[in-house]
Amino acid sequence: MTPVKLSVVPSRVGACVELFSGLGGLAIGLDRAGWSHELLVERDPQAVATLRSNDLTRDWPLHDSDLRDLDFKSEVKGDIDLLAAGVPCQPFSQAGAHAGPDDERNMFPETFAAIRQLKPKAVLIENVRGLARPAFTPFVEYIVDHLQLPGLARKKDEEWPDHHERLRKALKRRPKDPVERYVVEWRPICVADYGVPQRRVRVIMVAIRADLAERWSWPEPTHCHEVLLLDQLDGFYWAEHGLPSRSPILAPFTRKRVRRVIRPTPVGRWRTLRDALRGLPDPVPQEETPALNWHTLWPGARLYRGHRGSDLDKPSKTIKAGVHGVAGGEHIVHLDSDEYRYLTVRECMRVQDLPDELEIDTTRTAAIRQIGNAVPPTIGEVFGRAIAQAVCEKPRAKVKVPRAKAGARLKAAA
């Protein structure tokens, strides 16, 4: 089944500043959605090198040192419509130290300082699934309340719980000027529900200025698991890949649920790892593929209890920033021959939905770190288009994003 396509957005919709840009995944997606990048902020030298060496990203203004050293008034001219931020995830990652707001790498305070300076019409924040854990619920509530009223700054030496109490009191008074407050929505999403071939769950937060909030609607999923299973049961998926039909092993209740999907469905099927790797030649050990860098087979893949690789006919496991021994075997693929191997760096880029023309000139370890930390461009495009509807000066026609039927997809965390 052909993936559902989003409708065309006018070439340029508004001005955008992006913090913590990494190698540019979110920025590429926002560019596709029509946003003009007035400034990108990234201090990691290897990510900066990637941004400056690629035709896709080299022309965007870049601040390549610490965000705390940046004076937005001198760097950015004119009004900013969107502030986007892939806020560093290490303080909230399940694989990290779980220090959360007390971690010195917590950059939410700097993000709020940028919002106060730029006063954008909208804010888009991406972070790891771990941010939604119960342990961080009080801090997430604080983030949401601060996004609603970013102008109320935290005092010097004030602890965030004390600042949160002041925010709550101020929000109860409800500022009269709608330009001073924002309407906030947030939720975990599975990127596979938007056409990325990966079961990657991320927290997305969107803040829209209150006077524009009525135009905002959360983008509905464009792809779903049940349609993939239905296409596999009916043979369409296998025919698309030139393979003999094979029936997936499903529990009876799952098979009944899948059979309730009505054709033609308004959403596409989840994209699989096999879809992502289509067109790539088999990698050769220690030998680059002509005209396609980083497609070299790396030896030594191992499987053991609790560390299984990705199935070709499902979306990949989450691509992470580690290289060897990543928990869950996320960078390993099971082949049709029943053998398994590491995914190449280029294949990891495909799974992250990064374009083939994007080149990374560094070590393998550094390349995987950049790729694992990236935001899939499709997510930036989907949310960039939806936000554009809300914050453009003149209301535009609704972006026609197909809506999934109630109960027509699995839970993102499944």
What's the chain's average pLDDT?
A: 86
Amino acid at 380: G
Q: Find out whether 321 and 345 touch, Cβ atoms under 8 Å.
A: no
Confidence (pTM): 0.88
Q: What is residue 242's predicted lDDT score, i.e. its pLDDT?
A: 96
Q: Is a pLDDT exceeding 70 seen at residue 290? A: yes
Q: Name the range with the highest mean pLDDT among 33-47, 64-78, 287-301.
A: 33-47
Of 255, 212, 55, 1, nearest in space to 120 by CA? 212
Taking the C-alpha atoms of residue 91 and residue 320, their distance in angstroms, rounded to an integer, is 15
Q: What is residue 412's predicted lDDT score, i.e. its pLDDT?
A: 40
Tell me, letter by letter, the H, E, C secondary structure of 91-111: CCCCCCCCCHHHCCCCCHHHH
Q: Is a pLDDT exceeding 90 seen at residue 57? A: yes
Indicate the pLDDT class of residue 356, thresholds 50, 70 and 90.
very high
Structure tokens at 144: 């949401």
